[in-house]
Amino acid sequence: MEINQVIAAYFSPTYSTRDIVLTISSEIQHSPKQIDLSIYDNRETSYSFSSHELVVLGVPVYGGRVPADAAKRIHNLHGNNTPIILVAVYGNREFEDALIELKDIVVSNGFIPVAAAAPVAQHSIIHSIAAGRPNAQDIQQARDFSKKVQDKLKKTVVLTQQDCIQLPGNQPYKKYGVIPLHPKAGHNCIQCGKCASNCPVHAIPQDHPDQTNTEQCISCMRCIVVCPKHARGLNPIVKAATANKLKKVCSQPKENLWIL
């Protein structure tokens, strides 16, 4: 089948999902179209795709699930028997039900998942976990996967529901059980507002960037990454406790999963 346009769509607060989705997409089409679902102003925008477009959709795994705000935004993507590659990026713990949840959302919206991946990236809360990943070997694997997907699509004459891949995971999905972690601004804050304008859910007031609305905050860590003064961070005691807990289950390097 002929693909006229590749679309890289991602919810990626700390950018590793974006980079992996772009690695996969760019191998198929140089400079794919991009839809950044992490941008607050894109949260209600609706998109439609034809059967001659290919969407590469990525989310980070949160608590073994698709982040709830990402799921809501993905519901605004509408396919018409559109092939889709699903990518659930995880921080070396587990991806559990994220891929199957992602599949259920897109299938109900008219897409046909033709391939999927669960690649490992540095843990966005505790950076020492899976530090440096994706590494050169991971990136090469992503490129090889992308080439295999292209070959598969070339051999397909007409895409039907029967081409939909099987994915690991359980239904009902596991209960979302992540302990909330809300970054705060410290003395270095120069009130530039960059964290507020970049927060995917607008949980930081623009006129009071030293505050965080803990009801809205999804613990995504983007505000820490974008702050030019390194002024935002987590409570050090809570962060150390989280690191200890995670290190018990994340210390051994995990494999990337590529499904065709």
Ligand X SMILES: Cc1cc2nc3c(=O)[nH]c(=O)nc-3n(C[C@H](O)[C@H](O)[C@H](O)COP(=O)(O)O)c2cc1C
What residue ranges bind ligand X (CB under 6 A)? 12-17, 60-64, 89-94, 121-125, 178, 219-221
The option from ligand X, ligand SF4, none interacting with 192 (CB < 5 to 8 A, set by class) reads ligand SF4
The span from the CA of 18 to the CA of 250, in Å, is: 22
Q: How many helices (H) and strands (E) does the chain have?
A: 7, 10
We find the least distance from the C-beta atom of residue 247 to ligand SF4, in angstroms, to be 21
- One residue of 56, 112, 231, 250 binding ligand SF4 per CB under 6 A: 231
Encoded tokens for 205: 């007031």
Which element (helix H / strand E) includes 35?
Answer: strand 33-36
Which element (helix H / strand E) includes 140?
Answer: helix 136-155
We find the least distance from the C-beta atom of residue 154 to ligand X, in angstroms, to be 30
| CA–CA–CA angle 31, 91, 193 (5° rounding) | 65
The option from ligand SF4, ligand X, none interacting with 94 (CB < 5 to 8 A, set by class) reads ligand X
The option from ligand X, ligand SF4, none interacting with 83 (CB < 5 to 8 A, set by class) reads none
The option from ligand SF4, ligand X, none interacting with 212 (CB < 5 to 8 A, set by class) reads ligand SF4
| By the rule CB under 6 A, 71 interacts with ligand SF4 | no
Residues 169-188 that bind ligand SF4 (CB under 6 A): 182-183, 185
Nearer to ligand X, 63 or 83 (CB): 63
We find the least distance from the C-beta atom of residue 190 to ligand X, in angstroms, to be 25
Contacts of 173 (CB under 8 A, 6+ apart): 64, 65, 97, 100, 101
Interstrand relation of 82-89 and 111-118 (parallel, antiparallel or unpaired): parallel
| By the rule CB under 6 A, 234 interacts with ligand SF4 | no
The option from ligand X, ligand SF4, none interacting with 89 (CB < 5 to 8 A, set by class) reads ligand X
For residues 219 and 182, is the Cβ–Cβ distance under 8 A? yes
DSSP label of 40: G
| By the rule CB under 6 A, 233 interacts with ligand SF4 | no
Nearer to ligand X, 50 or 128 (CB): 128
Contacts of 49 (CB under 8 A, 6+ apart): 7, 55, 77, 78, 79, 80, 82, 111
- Among the residue ranges 4-12, 72-80, 148-156, 198-206, the one whose residues contact ligand SF4 (CB under 6 A): 198-206
What are residue 117's DSSP bridge partners?
87, 258
Give the interface with ligand SF4 as residue ranges (CB under 6 A).
13, 182-183, 185, 189-195, 199, 201, 203-204, 209, 212, 217-223, 227, 229, 231-232
